[in-house]
Amino acid sequence: MLLHTIQPRFSDTDALGHISNTAFPVWFEEARTPLFEMYHPTLDVKSWPLIIARIELDLLAQTYWGGDVDIKTYISKLGSSSCEVTHEAWQKDKMVAKGKAVMIYFDYENEKSVPIPEDIRAQLSVHLKME
């Protein structure tokens, strides 16, 4: 599991005074950076090997500005060319949101998915947690 701490910005709040639902997909993407580095250590977008095929988000409780949010990230499924990433957002020892993203290892030149190389699979496997 990977852990990333977010310090919510005041601008992440909505008119009701809690964190907007639009903040979580951005936070979850930020928390995927260590996974991106496993796939592509340089993070050079000119040779980027990933696409996002799906994202989902469940809001479980209100989240507020003024308290850190810990994002726990793990691999919940590892396929031949894709992986499912699960995120949990925690504030004050309470899970406030949960989400998933499906990332596909992708050859942009040929516009098709390709198998994840074994060295990358080994790195991802360290963070595998079956649900």
- The pLDDT tens digits of the residues spanning 64-120 come to 999 999 999 999 999 999 999 999 999 999 999 999 999 999 999 999 999 999 999
Q: Which two tokens stand for residue 60?
A: 């479980």
Question: Is the predicted pLDDT of residue 130 greater than 90, yes or no?
Answer: no
Cα atoms in the Cβ-side hemisphere of radius 13 Å centred on 48: 12
Q: Give the mean pLDDT of 29-52.
A: 96
Contacts of 117 (CB under 8 A, 6+ apart): none
Are 50 and 116 in contact by the 8 Å Cβ rule? The answer is no
The per-residue pLDDT for range 6-27, each reduced to its tens digit, is: 999 999 998 888 999 999 999 9
Domains of the chain: 2-125 (3.10.129.10)
Three-class DSSP category at 121: helix
Question: Is the predicted pLDDT of residue 131 greater than 80, yes or no?
Answer: no
Question: Is the predicted pLDDT of residue 52 greater than 80, yes or no?
Answer: yes
Q: How would DSSP label each residue in 75-118?
A: EEEE-SSEEEEEEEEEETTEEEEEEEEEEEEEETTTTEE-PPPH
Q: What's the confidence (pLDDT) of residue 101?
A: 98
